[in-house]
Amino acid sequence: MILEVAPLKIRPGQSADFESAFRIARAIIASMPGYISHELQRCVERPDEYILLVRWRSLEDHQIGFRQSPQYQQWKQLLHHFYDPFPTVLHYEVLADSG
């Protein structure tokens, strides 16, 4: 399993609109092959900042299956204009001896 981590900084005053758009966009990502689950969390101290955590079966499911799909264009249209700056997305894997 791969954990996608995306820290999201939303343009000031647009958090409510972002959350509304995300409610639509989450159905897009949840429909993708290799998708396992996601969480969107809002920062308590900085209300215009969020972290998006998405669990994928593999890195390819995210990087190729999702990002190169027509559905990604819908995702992008719904959400990308809210970000300032555009997020750096990183991927993590569980270490076998971490638990």
Tokens (6 digits) for 70: 């027509």
**Cα maximum dimension of the chain:** 43
Nearest Cα residue to 25 out of 55, 66, 59, 56: 66
Q: Which pTM was predicted?
A: 0.94
pLDDT in tens, 27-70: 999 999 999 999 999 999 999 999 999 999 999 999 999 999 99
Q: Which residues contact 1 (CB under 8 A, 6 or more apart)?
A: 36, 55, 56, 57, 93, 94
53 phi, psi to nearest 5 deg:
-115, 120
Domain 2-93, classified CATH 1.10.10.1150, yes or no: no
